[in-house]
Each structure stands twice: as structure tokens, then as C-alpha cells.
Amino acid sequence: MKKIILILLLAHLFFACKRSIHSQAHREYDNKLIHTLTKLEQKYADKKVRINTWDNKAGAYQDIRVLNDDGQSTTTTLTIGDSVKFMAIDVGKPDGIQAKIKLKNNVTGYIPYANIEEFESAAAIDPDLNN
């Protein structure tokens, strides 16, 4: 009986910690940024967009990793001037706002939205990118 109670207590603690971590992973973003991203999302949904791989911090063009749906492994890499089909914006990713894209081989993945040329107006007002 003691073992069952201990197991139930440990399971309860595990799920309580998991809920706590999950609730902390979501961020609050500026209303102006969300409004701009929503308008751009509606405008470019299911349309081809161009990739901009310029990295201001490095001062050079960098290849962009396309992450799969779980965000753990790389599907492929994109370089300057590649075009992909834009699908949607996902603000729930723990590593920042991501754009869901579809590659030419119909594989979907995620990249930072700021690497899409058509989304430069949103990237310009994103406080996380302008530090």
C-alpha cells in the first residue's frame, strides 16, 4: 500500500513539474508585432517566399537550418535566395517565433520568421531581434 501511495505521489509531482515548465515556455509578445505577423501571415499563406540568410551578428550570410515538426532535428538547410512555400506563423515555439514552411519536396519544417524577406517589416519591430 505504501508503494502505491509513493508511486502516485511521484507521478503527481512529475506531472506538476511538467505543467510548470510548459507554462513558462510560452512568451508574451508585443501586440504590434503580433498584429504585423498576423497580417503578413494572411497575405503570404500558401505563397512562395524568399529566404534571406544575412546574419547581422556574424556580418555574413549563414545557411539556415530547417527543423522538423518536433524542432529537434534538421530536415535540410537553406541558403540565400532559396524560395519556399510559407504555411503559417507559430508563436508557441520555445526558441522564438517560427515560420512553418513547405519545401519543394513537400516536406514541412520550421525556420525563424526573420529569415523570410517578406517578413522584414515584422523583424524590424521585434525587440528580441533588435538588441
Report pLDDT for 98.
92
Q: pLDDT tens for the chain, 131 residues: list them.
A: 778 886 777 777 776 655 544 444 456 778 898 999 999 999 999 999 999 988 878 888 999 999 987 777 787 889 888 999 999 999 888 778 999 999 988 889 999 999 999 999 988 888 877 75
Distance CA 123, CA 28 (A): 16
Which helix (H) or strand (E) segment is 6 a member of?
helix 2-25
Q: What is the pLDDT of residues 29-45, one digit of tens each?
A: 788 989 999 999 999 99
> Grid coordinates standing for 22?
510548459
Task: Set out the domains of the chain in order of their start, with CATH numbers.
Answer: 29-124 (2.30.30)
